[in-house]
Amino acid sequence: MVLNPVISKLAGKLVVLASASPRRREILTNVGLQFEVVPSWFKETLDKSLFGSPHEYAVETARQKALEVAKRMPFNHLKTPDIVIGADTVVAVDGLILEKPVDKQDAYRMLSRLSGKEHSVFTGVSIILCHENKGKDTDYKVANFYEETRVKFADLSEEMLWEYIHSGEPMDKAGGYGIQAMGGMLVEYVQGDFLNVVGFPLNHFCKQLDKMFNRHVEMLAPHNNGGGQAAGGGLNGQSKCEQKVEAAETSSHTEHTKNTLHGGRRADGPVFPQRIADLMDGFKASKTLFAASELKVFDLLEATQGLTAVQVAEKIPASVVGTERLLDAAVSLGLLGKLQQGGATVYRNMEEASHYLVSTSDLSLHGYILHCNHVLWPLFSHLEHSVREGASQHEKAFGKRPDNLFQDAYYSNTERKLGFMKAMHSVAKVTGRDVVTAFDLSAFKSACDLGGCTGALAYELAKAYPGMSVMVFDLPAAVELNAHFRPHDQDSSRVTFAAGDFFQDDLPKADLYVLARILHDWPDEKVHVLLRKLSAVCSPGSGVLVSEVLLDEERRGPSRGLLQALSMTQGSQRSASEYSLLLKAHGFLQVCVRHTGNFLDAILGVKL
């Protein structure tokens, strides 16, 4: 198996990971795979008693996750993926599957059962190739496999058990531990693929890709539109760890697409317009997320082991009926879980909500979600006027027309200023690591982040490149509040701040200039002014790192960029080739592009 040729075969394809797991995402990103993350909405409620062994359950769950995303994306995301990757990891001891613990007592029961024993970690993986036919129905080819790793725990004392449980780490981990973190101290030995225990069997996955793309082996099992597999049926009739890839006829996607005729009709009547129905309800889903974030529901649930609707209503405070309906809507969106605990129905954060929706989380999007609610939502409520006039509706939404959107945000009252900065900070925190590691920037010894706001991306640069000093250059009103966003877990001495206007003032000298979410906001003439200034101060070998949403060359996606354009700012959303031409026109002739799979992609231009 040669990895690079396998990865190169996927270049230009829309690869989707049907999982919100940051561990799986990191494993795949580290080998250079470019992909989007679309978490599956499949409810993991398969009856375990129907499966002959834990690995069969893991594989079927992975398959269902991947199929759900493959079927949903053409409707909700307006695009059909080329490849969807689903995965599910379970811990099994004595034939019993251990889920994520529901509370500390449950974690204690799990870890006590594992103490001093050897157990198995199974990851089931499903790789789905999607082929959209001319008649608009979709064929799926499915490759399933699993990996088993044996793990032995040391004999754990009561003190060690409870110390680990009180750390909070077991609560979102299958089996109640994470081997890549503090849980590794509990482990005596590992037999097999370590990354499989972390959450994704990378070696086996790459071998599977090699079979599929380098050896031209025709796949695989047709998917079943029903529920779980028959008891004892094995995985596609097999039960060995090394799955053979076998040829099989592929099945069409769902019954209604299989029977679709031209003109959007089936032989027995009209097709239900599921994609349109989902789009019609899309604003309700967004507002559910906004309202739950505004009311700090995710923060409240994160601090507990689960609360009833009545308890949440008391703490928000809000009506019980309204709270229960909001919580149930969040469950339907996959943001919250709902379970029986002590005879009552309680709600808990799903893993994705814990990582991205809790306001105190390191990767929280809470600030940007509030910005969407307070600023973008009112703007988009006047979208038809924006389209007619080709202009922002800021005056209709907020009663005044700003001369400069950023000046208005920065020189308003402190509360609004901090709100805007928190929004920019949250996006920069989530995207920063992927952007600054998209290329090897270690050759640049100094960097200047123009319009770097809170310094979130600058701190990521300093963390990734110990030999680099970084300056944030932004308007005085932004610089004066940078202390609010200084990281507490990192030496920030190599990150400095300077006040100025990058259009009006001289630019600080640096080897690398960063333009993160800058160019799309300004009209072409100002973009050229800024790039001319950069070209003038850059010597050969200096670079410009641009971070933006990159449209595809036919401007059909990603929808995130095209929807963002509807805010009708003076700027433009561009494709990778359009940004490349801009950079080359100003002397940055060596241009490389990286799709990160995150909110923002990256382009590096080097002056020759």
pLDDT of res. 66: 94
| Tally of domains within the chain | 3
Average pLDDT score over the chain: 85
Same domain, yes or no: 466 and 554: yes
What would the pLDDT profile of 593-606 be if each residue is shown by its tens digit?
998 888 999 999 99
Q: Is residue 379 part of a domain?
A: no
Q: Check which CATH number belongs to the domain holding 342 and give it.
A: 1.10.10.10
Residue 560: is its pLDDT beyond 90?
A: no
Same domain, yes or no: 239 and 320: no
Same domain, yes or no: 238 and 302: no
Residue 12: is its pLDDT beyond 70?
A: yes
Once rounded to an integer, what is the mean pLDDT over residues 543-569?
A: 89
Token reading at 536: 């003038």
Q: Is residue 164 part of a domain?
A: no
Q: Which residues make Cβ contacts (< 8 Å) with residue 33, sequence separation at least 6?
A: 7, 10, 15
Residue 400 to residue 76: CA distance in whole angstroms: 34
Q: Is residue 366 part of a domain?
A: no
Q: Is residue 255 part of a domain?
A: yes
The phi-psi region of residue 597 (left if phi > 0; otherwise alpha if psi is between -120 and 50; otherwise beta) is: left
pLDDT of res. 300: 96
Residue 374 to residue 423: CA distance in whole angstroms: 11
Highest mean pLDDT of the ranges 149-153, 335-339, 561-565 = 149-153
Same domain, yes or no: 251 and 307: no
- How many beta carbons lie within 10 A of that of residue 252, not counting itself? 18
Tell me the pLDDT band of 145, cut-offs 50, 70 and 90: very high
Q: Is 603 helix (H, G, I), strand (E, B) or coil?
A: strand
What would the pLDDT profile of 324-374 be if each residue is shown by its tens digit?
999 999 998 989 998 888 889 999 999 889 999 999 999 999 999 999 999
Task: Name the more confident of 292 and 76.
Answer: 292
Q: Is residue 567 part of a domain?
A: yes
Q: Is residue 351 part of a domain?
A: yes
Same domain, yes or no: 194 and 304: no
Q: Which amino acid, 514?
A: V
Q: Is 272 helix (H, G, I), strand (E, B) or coil?
A: coil
Tell me the pLDDT band of 264, cut-offs 50, 70 and 90: very low
Q: Which amino acid, 386?
A: S
pLDDT of res. 437: 94
pLDDT of res. 101: 85
Once rounded to an integer, what is the mean pLDDT over residues 76-98?
A: 87
- How many beta carbons lie within 10 A of that of residue 439, not counting itself? 18
Token reading at 401: 């027309």
Residues of the chain above pLDDT 70, percent? 86
The catalytic residues are 88
Same domain, yes or no: 218 and 356: no
Same domain, yes or no: 577 and 428: yes
- Domain termination site, one of 361, 392, 410: 361
Q: Check which CATH number belongs to the domain holding 39 and give it.
A: 3.90.950.10
pLDDT of res. 239: 32
pLDDT of res. 76: 67
- Domain termination site, one of 266, 283, 315: 266
Q: Which of 63-77, 128-142, 194-208, 283-297 has the lowest mean pLDDT?
A: 128-142
Tell me the pLDDT band of 497, cut-offs 50, 70 and 90: very high
Token reading at 148: 């088993």
pLDDT of res. 576: 92
Residue 240: is its pLDDT beyond 60?
A: no
Token reading at 322: 């309204």
Same domain, yes or no: 248 and 186: yes
What would the pLDDT profile of 425-460 be if each residue is shown by its tens digit?
999 999 999 999 999 999 999 999 999 999 999 999
pLDDT of res. 4: 58
What does the DSSP assignment read for 367-423? Answer: HHHHHIIIIIHHHHTTHHHHHHHTS--HHHHHSS--SSHHHHHHTS-HHHHHHHHHH
Tell me the pLDDT band of 384, cut-offs 50, 70 and 90: very high
Task: Name the more confident of 338 and 4.
Answer: 338
Q: Check which CATH number belongs to the domain holding 535 and give it.
A: 3.40.50.150
Same domain, yes or no: 201 and 348: no
Once rounded to an integer, what is the mean pLDDT over residues 117-134?
A: 89
Once rounded to an integer, what is the mean pLDDT over residues 284-293?
A: 96
Cα distances (angstroms) measured from residue 431 to each of 100, 162, 351: 28, 35, 19
3-state helix, strand, coil in the chain (%, to 5): 40, 20, 40
- Positive or negative: CA dihedral 33, 34, 37, 38: negative
- Domain termination site, one of 343, 361, 379: 361
Once rounded to an integer, what is the mean pLDDT over residues 493-518?
A: 96
Task: Name the more confident of 510 and 556.
Answer: 510
pLDDT of res. 89: 92
The secondary element (H helix, E strand) that includes residue 310 is helix 309-315
| CA angle in degrees (0–180, nearest 5) for 261-262-265 | 55
Same domain, yes or no: 237 and 324: no
Residue 65: is its pLDDT beyond 70?
A: yes
Same domain, yes or no: 514 and 455: yes
Three-state secondary structure string covering 182-214: HHHHHEEEEECCHHHHHCCCHHHHHHHHHHHHH
Task: Name the more confident of 599 and 223.
Answer: 599
Residue 183: is its pLDDT beyond 60?
A: yes
* Domain carrying residue 140: 3-90+120-147+180-266
Once rounded to an integer, what is the mean pLDDT over residues 393-401?
A: 82
Q: Is residue 440 part of a domain?
A: yes
Task: Name the more confident of 272 and 29.
Answer: 29
Q: Is residue 556 part of a domain?
A: yes
Same domain, yes or no: 205 and 337: no
Three-state secondary structure string covering 85-100: EEEEEEEEECCEEECC
Residue 221: is its pLDDT beyond 50?
A: no
pLDDT of res. 2: 47
pLDDT of res. 473: 98
